[in-house]
Structure 1
Amino acid sequence: MEDTHVSRKTRPADMVAICRKLPLRCALSLSALSLPALLQPDTAMAATEGRTPAQTPVKHHVPRPTQSLHVAPGPRHAGTRAPARSPARTVPAARHRDHGPVQGRNEAVEVSSHRSVSRGADNVVSKAVMEQFTPGTSVLKAADRLPGVSFSSTDPLGIDLWGASIYVRGFFMDQLGVTLDGIPLNDQTYESNNGLNIIQAAISDDIDRSIISEGPGGVTAPSTSTLGGTMQFETGDPKDKLGGKISQGFGSYSSFRTYARLDSGKLNSSGTKFMTAYSRSDEGMWAGGGSQFQQQVDAKLVQPIGQESVMKAFFNWSDLAEWNYWDTSLAMINGLGWRTPHLYPNYAKAYNYAAGNLALPTTDAIEENGDEPYLYDGGQHETNYTGGLNFDLALTDRLRWRSTLYGTSQTGYYTYSDTSTPSADTEAPFSQEVWQNRQERYGFTTSFLYKIANHNIDAGVWYENNNQEAGLFWYNEPTLGEGAPLKTVGPYNTYGKAFQQGYGFNWRTNNFAFHLQDTWRPVENLRVTAGFKSVLATTAGGASYNNPDYTGVDALPNGTMTASSAFLPHVGASYHFLRHHEFYFDLAENMRTYQVLPNGVGNSPWSVQDQDAFRKLQHSVSPEKDWVYAVGYRYTDKLLQASLAGYHADARNRLQAATEGTILAPVSTVVPTTVHTNGVDAAITLTPIKGLAIYNSVSYNHSTYGGNITTSDGIYYTKGKKVVNFPQFMYKANLSYRWKGLETHFDVHYYSKRYYSYVNDTSVPGYWLASTGARYNFGKVGFAKNLSVDFNVYNLFNSKYISMMGQNGNPMSGDYQSLERGAVREFFGTVSAEF
């Protein structure tokens, strides 16, 4: 049920002046430093034939759609469609322990390394599970242990944003509600104009638990993208005693990672405490040159207020400079082999190839497909700031007031070598195409929780203002032998300012939501939740600059779109009808607001061809909505945990961007469609002896498109065709054993065949993926505490498989250069100690 994202569009260094001055950086930094002193004591039918689609010609490669439809040259067959959803689940567990209910949800499931307690539609992935992964691994990858969740990446740690994706019951990562300490992160896709990926919002070591809901999502989650489930991430509080932690990791392909943390301990009688942490990682690439570098700073302050209230402040700075793995196609894999990386750092080879002085291997299928297997480089450079203040105040013994004030800032440059546009001021036969996106989000959430009799009533509002910008520029590469080539991570103006701009977009989005929910316990073992939310989202703006020679039109889209719904209901119940036995259900209607994306391949009203097409959409398009139903049974005791869950979803008004042409000259058609999903999950965890846990799960998902798709090229018969990019069947197993200071684990996943084209005439095969690891804790050694050594092997049997699919859009029929290969076998070791 994935969607389409727009091209990576970035603006150069000299365009920073065009961006607004950003007080957020100073504000967030000052809040983190000064707070200790300050606080001391509906119904559009799917892709109907006969509807005139809005088109968007794009003249250059446009990266990472959330899910776009690509119409490759060739015959049309039956159907194509979008991703699906996934079922409920159960995960490897840790010690049997109860947890309080998750706010806005039925109950929670604790997933630890040995046992887990599952309740309702939520899974709590604990720190113990996350510690089984190599330090620095994306927390999204830990969620992949759950049935119904599919995470894939080009790198073993899952930090390459261009090549990473996650689905929850078939819902793509721009269709989930995501928060960090109550801060809405929204869209998790690459180059998003409406969110921040969790990888860039907090150091993974500092996240204590992840609450993954595979149900329909709760009304309390502040999000504009929730269609099927939520992911809530929580950072750990500073420790009560003065101390710290240091870890150093090494890995294959010269990878390394350093992490350091300092905890202040309680500073006074009121309990004031803080922590700060720094991480620096440089993950080597298993194919081609370059590296994937990230560094981050976290800071958190906790200030108790009286006996029952608390204030918490969180701040994160992240800097990311990554070369990406180059996109491939079925034709490239069959004709050129498994590894076809960028040509970087061999500038002379790339130069001579682009100039026509050098021939490199190719095939007829590659040429007919319009693939570009040989580019110099591609990647990204992002800087992000995130900050928030959380207040949990006990006003009376029955009434609590919870509020979050937050802000985020993101500046991103997304680039690749463009062989279709030679440099203007040098003799280089290609240039560096750079997209610059910028967004600043400020907002707050506030809610009152009142307890009366057997009822817990929750009422609150959320407001957010998002200022978004996107621009596209070209920079000169040097004449061969007359200077160092540009790096994909910048700087870009070494050989002059941008010699060409394609377009510029500016938007301002205001989001408002209200929720009201009652959680009722008529008897001790029955919990009933009923509520609704109202959503109003308005985006104004659009094109601020247009280059007709590039876009081919006189006016690009500019105007206002509003998505609103006064009543989006949610009802759920959890019934423990016998000891160890639980039955639950959840149902809700959800809405996602309009995506904000510039001219190009995207599922946004502003991505269409021109102003006339945009005006037509203003009067004909409705926001995407869906109904999601989930029902499940769970058995939990000391030796056995088992679960069975089924779900159904109907999505309507889903905008898809059907792309025709080649990767360097696509034409996007924005069309509505529907998706119907049915699925089931089953999981079992056995703990036959102390320290041993054996976990197995299976998932089946059947998602199909509800209508055909009409483009300028004709009708594609997608009705009844299976959703692209998401496997119908998944099997997962985990074996873990802990004895004294030793802990070992073995994981294996199977993903079935995934359809690549919307008409289902191309697909990628299923695959097995296994990983293993061990850790030994020596305890106290000298001044060091919990001195530990761990070793992990990713892709143990060196399987060859396709990870990310559709990053440039999916073909309507046939093949397209929009696949990413999964990482080869790699080894990682880490030494860590506390003090």
Structure 2
Amino acid sequence: MTSRRILALSTMLGGLAIAPQLHAATPTPAQATAPRPNAPAPSHRAAGTTGAGKAAAAGTPAPANEAISVFGHGSTRQMTSVTRTMMQQSVPGTSPLKVLSQLPGVLYQSADPFGAYEYSSQLFMRGFNQSQLGFTLDDIPLGDQQFNNYNGLSVTRSIISDDVGGVDVSQGAGAIDVASTSNLGGAIQIRSIDPSHVRGGTVAQTFGSNSTMRTYARFESGDLNPTGTRFYVAYARLNGNLWKGGGYDHSDQVNAKLVQPLARGSSLKLFFDWSSIQQFDYQDMTKNWLNTVGPNLANYYPNYTAAYNAALGTYPAELQKTNDPFDAAYYAGTANRTDYLGGLTLDENLSETLNWKTTLYGHANNGYSTWTTPYMPSPNGAPLSQRIQTPNVARGGLQSAVTWKIARHAVNAGVWYEYGNFNEGRYFSEAPLLGQGTLGNPTTGFPADKVFATAWQEAFSTRTFVFHLQDTYKVTDNLTINAGFKSMIVNSGNSVPTQDGTINGTRLAQGHLEASNAFLPQVSANWRFLPHNELFFDVSHNMRSFPLDGYGTNVSATPWTASQASFQATRNTLKPETDWVYEGGYRYTSPLISALASLYRVNFSNRLQLITSQAGINPVTAVQNVGGVTTNGAEASVTLRPVRGLSIYNSFSYAHSTYDQNVMTATGLQPTRGKLVPNYPQFMYKGNISYAIGNFDAHVDGTYLSRRELTYTNDLRVPGYFLMNFGMRYHFGQVGPFRGLTASFNVYNLTNKTYIATTNELGNNFVNTDFNYFLMGAPRQFFGTVSADF
């Protein structure tokens, strides 16, 4: 399927919508109507047993003053739900993934306060990074969320945050029917809101630090006819400067959703998303640069003269203090992306006991990233040039599943097929001589007329087929067992139509790899042994397909990042990553207390690790099987609601994740056995206090992370930190022509803590070198929002 055909399919579909839960033919109040600011928060059903068996689990409404999370009452695995009401505590435009950072075992890092800067976006859950988790939007697969996403779309670009109805998080293992080929760990399933039955809309304007301005508007058609046909169209625009240095973050986004109710509680839903982003990069940091220059080290943009002189070896005084002034700053780096995502879901109740659900979806992406490099001079004599990379995605797929309720069983079987193309190229364009112009703003378009070299072009194609079968058996009114398996085949390969050996220094990897397993089982159970009290356990076997990316891109542990010789030497022995996940826990749910405690163990096999050495700008990169990893962990969460309007949430998590053996490299045996896996803290604490009285509500939240290792041998680390945020809102009720008017104020990083946010964005080293990179977190930021419903 060509890129144009998939783009046409995506556009014709108008936007892909995935129905709510498999058995839920009628939307919940939260999905059906966006709550008005002066209305009480709607109830939200807690997460169910599995995607197919959620109806079998008894849901418990979340109180209106819930602080942060709803624990998955009745679920056979550890589930946590973040509701729409909870997400509204954050500044509009904040990534849903950033909101998840309040959950136990979840770590989210970003260099910007919104979590919108994709290069720095980093999510870990129980030690697994985001490329080893599963992500869906209304059942549409969003891939593995890596920066150069080859099989999906980032959460922030797939849906406007204001249109998110809620997020269901499975920290241990995702349900069997989650459409993902990467979820070694848990799964994150995002739900969009449904259009309101009442005609109207919402407009909101946000102002804040760094000249931030964000505008949001949504129009609701209301019911157009007696059958309940309805739709909404929403638009969001964000403009803001970087918190340090020159450059900005800009995005435009459109969402649309149509719902057509059908007979017997069935529905037909369409969802469409268009997004366009232009983002400037924050400069990567090292310990030396942090200690010599400080946390505000930034690139030269828009000072072309300074970047030009630095490429010639003349540096600003502050950079001369560093151990590598040549790499401590560049002119600029940028990311530019345009995406179309659409889907059509038919959720058909054929009878009271038989449901058939089918989703068609398509996604097309085009864009480019730039980096002004002093390592490649221009033909005109300029000492630098602009390196451009062009990742493009075109994919389409189908999911179809049938659920049959018979006696105490809910049998669910389904298939998922996807075909995707991922094309990427690396080019170099000419920079002007000093005094004859500047590179200007690199986000204004691909400089095709100035390209003087093509390092490589690669074309990947992937076919994915997954079958699943499961049974949710309600043994008694208090005991539920879910058991099933999935079969997976993912075949990927590439061709290299263009490569320049004088630039690359080697022949690029080319060939096919298949990741397949016919039997990936999962068994889980829930026992409600007393009112409000339940025990659960889950055991699952999971596999991750081989990730894709271009040569030497340092984004993921892909076999294709290496040379042809390295690829050939390992292709017959390289195995896809697999694991066994075991978890068990206790859950207590009552109007006053929601509590959760769990223990888990992960036996991770064939872990592929991106091994880098030398500078992150021109690294030696290889992917290596580093063997097994064992993780043992514990999590506990509790939400107290002692009086009306007050909610107090606390969570604690501990994870001990270590390598099972040493690793042999070209430089010798690396002592990694027993060493902690980098980038993920052993201990985390999260807290949130929320209070509502009348039309006013306020909250304060805090997060503590222990230290994180930067190297595989644990000889370099970044310190832990405690971060606080504050927010408050007031609902004015009806004001003039508006049905509701709301004003809110938020402060991120309340104590103005200087801290290291993202780590390993360029890969980890085995030992402490001068090239261990990270990104700083944003200082204290202020934001105010006024929104109105009409």
TM-score if structure 2 supplies the norm length?
Answer: 0.93
Match of 1:103? Answer: 51
Deviation of the 1:412 alpha carbon: 2.6
Match of 1:64? Answer: none
Match of 2:422? Answer: 468
* Residue correspondence of structure 1 range 351-362 to structure 2 within 5 A: 351-362=308-319
Say if 2:764 is the partner of 1:810. yes
Match of 1:26? Answer: 8
* Residue correspondence of structure 1 range 44-123 to structure 2 within 5 A: 98-99=45-46, 101=48, 102-104=50-52, 114-115=65-66, 116-119=70-73, 120=75, 121-123=78-80
Distance in structure 1 (CA, Å) of the matches to 2:203 and 2:230: 19
Question: How many aligned positions are there?
Answer: 754
Residue 135 of structure 1, aligned match among 73, 92, 98: 92
Match of 1:618? Answer: 571
Match of 1:581? Answer: 533
Gap change, CA 1:147 and 1:94, over 3 Å in 2:
farther
Q: Contact conserved, 1:161 with 1:190, CA < 8 A, in 2?
A: yes
Distance in structure 1 (CA, Å) of the matches to 2:16 and 2:531: 51
Q: Deviations 1:704-723 (Å, cap 9, x if unpaired)?
A: 01122222222211111001
Match of 2:696? Answer: 742
Gap change, CA 1:497 and 1:574, over 3 Å in 2:
same
Say if 2:279 is the partner of 1:297. no
Match of 2:610? Answer: 657
Distance in structure 2 (CA, Å) of the matches to 1:365 and 1:761: 21
Distance in structure 2 (CA, Å) of the matches to 1:800 and 1:430: 33
Residue 153 of structure 1, aligned match among 110, 114, 120: 110
Residue 444 of structure 1, aligned match among 385, 393, 398: 398
Gap change, CA 1:98 and 1:204, over 3 Å in 2:
closer
Q: Contact conserved, 1:702 with 1:728, CA < 8 A, in 2?
A: yes
SS at 1:779's partner residue?
strand
SS at 1:811's partner residue?
coil
Distance in structure 2 (CA, Å) of the matches to 1:711 and 1:731: 37
Output the amino acid matched with 1:161. E
Q: Contact conserved, 1:96 with 1:638, CA < 8 A, in 2?
A: no
Match of 1:499? Answer: 452
Identical amino acids, percent of aligned pairs? 38
Say if 2:719 is the partner of 1:765. yes
Match of 1:644? Answer: 597
Gap change, CA 1:765 and 1:105, over 3 Å in 2:
farther
SS at 2:601's partner residue?
strand
Output the amino acid matched with 1:196. L
For structure 2, the 5+ residue unaligned runs are 18-39
Q: Deviations 1:29-84 (Å, cap 9, x if unpaired)?
A: 3332999xxxxxxxxxxxxxxxxxxxxxxxxxxxxxxxxxxxxxxxxxxxxxxxxx
Q: Contact conserved, 1:477 with 1:486, CA < 8 A, in 2?
A: no
Match of 2:501? Answer: 548
SS at 2:688's partner residue?
strand
Gap change, CA 1:371 and 1:714, over 3 Å in 2:
farther
Q: Contact conserved, 1:287 with 1:341, CA < 8 A, in 2?
A: yes
Output the amino acid matched with 1:345. P
* Residue correspondence of structure 1 range 218-297 to structure 2 within 5 A: 218-297=175-254
Deviation of the 1:543 alpha carbon: 2.0
Residue 330 of structure 1, aligned match among 263, 278, 287: 287
Distance in structure 2 (CA, Å) of the matches to 1:110 and 1:140: 23
Q: Contact conserved, 1:421 with 1:429, CA < 8 A, in 2?
A: yes
Output the amino acid matched with 2:468. H
Distance in structure 2 (CA, Å) of the matches to 1:764 and 1:506: 38
Residue 166 of structure 1, aligned match among 123, 126, 131: 123
Distance in structure 1 (CA, Å) of the matches to 2:348 and 2:755: 50
Residue 398 of structure 1, aligned match among 349, 353, 357: 353
Q: Deviations 1:441-498 (Å, cap 9, x if unpaired)?
A: 100100000000000000000000011111111111222222242423242427x331
Say if 2:478 is the partner of 1:525. yes
Residue 413 of structure 1, aligned match among 341, 349, 368: 368
Gap change, CA 1:202 and 1:25, over 3 Å in 2:
same
Output the amino acid matched with 1:233. I
Q: Deviations 1:680-714 (Å, cap 9, x if unpaired)?
A: 01111111110001111111010001122222222
Distance in structure 2 (CA, Å) of the matches to 1:240 and 1:573: 38
Q: Contact conserved, 2:541 with 2:578, CA < 8 A, in 1?
A: yes
Deviation of the 1:109 alpha carbon: 8.1
Distance in structure 1 (CA, Å) of the matches to 2:667 and 2:533: 55
Match of 1:667? Answer: 620
Deviation of the 1:315 alpha carbon: 0.4
Q: Deviations 1:790-810 (Å, cap 9, x if unpaired)?
A: 000000000010000000111
Deviation of the 1:97 alpha carbon: 6.4
Q: Contact conserved, 1:658 with 1:711, CA < 8 A, in 2?
A: no
Distance in structure 2 (CA, Å) of the matches to 1:134 and 1:507: 38
Q: Deviations 1:300-341 (Å, cap 9, x if unpaired)?
A: 010112232110000000000000111000111011111101
Q: Contact conserved, 1:542 with 1:606, CA < 8 A, in 2?
A: no
Q: Contact conserved, 1:296 with 1:316, CA < 8 A, in 2?
A: yes
SS at 1:240's partner residue?
coil
Gap change, CA 1:542 and 1:707, over 3 Å in 2:
farther
Q: Contact conserved, 2:679 with 2:710, CA < 8 A, in 1?
A: yes
Say if 2:165 is the partner of 1:208. yes
Q: Contact conserved, 1:460 with 1:515, CA < 8 A, in 2?
A: yes
Q: Contact conserved, 1:388 with 1:404, CA < 8 A, in 2?
A: yes
Residue 698 of structure 1, aligned match among 652, 655, 660: 652
Distance in structure 2 (CA, Å) of the matches to 1:749 and 1:660: 33
Output the amino acid matched with 1:478. P
* Residue correspondence of structure 1 range 680-695 to structure 2 within 5 A: 680-695=634-649
Match of 1:55? Answer: none
Gap change, CA 1:353 and 1:470, over 3 Å in 2:
same
Q: Looking at both structures, which has the greater relative contact order when contacts are Cα pairs under 8 Å and sequence separation is at least 6?
A: 1
Distance in structure 1 (CA, Å) of the matches to 2:295 and 2:163: 36
Gap change, CA 1:488 and 1:109, over 3 Å in 2:
farther
Between 390-399 and 771-780, the greater mean CA deviation after superposition: 390-399
Output the amino acid matched with 1:296. Q
Gap change, CA 1:685 and 1:332, over 3 Å in 2:
same
Say if 2:74 is the partner of 1:126. no
Gap change, CA 1:290 and 1:113, over 3 Å in 2:
farther
For structure 1, the 5+ residue unaligned runs are 1-18, 36-92
Output the amino acid matched with 1:103. G
Q: Contact conserved, 1:394 with 1:400, CA < 8 A, in 2?
A: yes
SS at 2:390's partner residue?
strand
Match of 1:63? Answer: none
Deviation of the 1:352 alpha carbon: 1.6
Residue 510 of structure 2, aligned match among 552, 558, 578: 558
Deviation of the 1:383 alpha carbon: 0.5
